[in-house]
Amino acid sequence: MKRKKISVVLIEDDPMVQEVNKAFIEKVSGFEVTGSAANGVEGVKKIQELQPDLVILDIFMPKQDGLETLYQIRKNKEKVDVIIISAAKDRDTIQTLLQQGAMDYIIKPFKFDRIKQALERYKDYYTQFCSDGEMSQKEVDTVLSGIHNEHQNQEQKEIPKGLNQLTLKQIITYLQEQSYGKSSEEVAEGVGIARVTARRYLEYLEKSGEIILDMQYGGVGRPVNRYLMKKF
C-alpha cells in the first residue's frame, strides 16, 4: 500500500519566496504543498479548510503575523505541526515560537539542505504516529530524540583535550549549511578560526564518523581535502 504524502500549507506573504519554498518542499520525497496563503488570516482559513499535516509559517506578514497565527492555530486546537521559516533572529521571538510548539526554526536566507534536513526529520517524527494503538517507552524516546538536533549528543561525548565544545558546534553548524565539501581553509574562514585549528577539529569529526573526507585532485599540485557533513 502506497503511503500518502505529507500535506503542507505554506503561509508566506512574498510571492517569489512562496514559489521558491514550494519548490524546495516538493523536491523532498514524501511532501506535497496542498495550499498557500499570503498572510495569517488567510492561512488559518486554509488550515481549517484543508486540514494539512504540516504548516510552513513566516513571521513578518501583513494583517496577521506568524506569531499571532501560531497562537490562533493553538487556540483553535488544530491538529497540525508547524515549522517556522523567517528572517526574525531575535532570541525572544525564537524562544516564544518554540514554546508555542514550533517543531523547527529556519532563518532566512537559507539553503535547500537546511529545509531538507528539517523535513526529513519531521517525516521520521510523523511516521511514528501513522499507526494506531499504544507506544512503548522506546518508541517515545525515538520520537523525542528525533525532534532535537541529531548532533546534540556531541555535548555528551568526551572530546580530545585541547578541543572546545563551542568551537566544535560552530564547525558542525557551518558544515550543515554547506551543499558541497569545504576545505580546512574555507572552514577556518567561515567560522573565524586559524586554519591549523580548523584542521584539528575536522580530523576529529572525520575520525568520529560525523563528516566525510573527499580528496579532490585539481591541476598541478597536491590534492585538496574537502569535508562534507554526513546526511542522517
SS3 (DSSP) at 27: helix
The pLDDT confidence band at residue 217, using thresholds 50, 70 and 90, is low
Pinpoint the alpha helices (H) of 165-230: 165-176, 184-191, 195-207
For 231, residues 6+ apart whose C-beta sits below 8 A from its C-beta are: none
Distances (CA, A) of 202 to 93, 209, 224: 33, 11, 14
- pLDDT, averaged across the chain: 84
Is 152-229 a domain of CATH 3.30.300.10? Answer: no
Q: How many CB atoms lie within 10 A of CB 57?
A: 26
The ranges assigned to domains in the chain are 6-147, 152-229
Q: Is the pLDDT of residue 232 over 60?
A: no
Q: What is the pTM of this model?
A: 0.61
Choice among 53-57, 90-94, 140-144 with the minimum mean pLDDT: 140-144
The CATH number of the structural domain formed by 6-147 is 3.40.50.2300
pLDDT at 133: 77
| Residues counted in the chain | 232
Which one has a higher pLDDT value, 154 or 157? Answer: 157
**Strand pairing report for 31-37 and 6-11:** parallel
What is the average pLDDT across 163-167?
82
Q: Is the pLDDT of residue 39 over 70?
A: yes
Q: Is the pLDDT of residue 190 over 80?
A: yes
What is the average pLDDT across 73-82?
92
pLDDT at 127: 81
State percent of the chain over pLDDT 70.
87
Gap between the Cα atoms of 124 and 62, Å rounded = 33
pLDDT in tens, 85-123: 998 888 888 888 888 889 899 988 888 888 998 898 888
The pLDDT confidence band at residue 162, using thresholds 50, 70 and 90, is confident
CB burial class (10 A; 0-12, 13-18, 19+) of residue 86? buried
Q: Is the pLDDT of residue 182 over 60?
A: yes
Q: Is the pLDDT of residue 147 over 60?
A: no
**39, three cell numbers:** 498572510
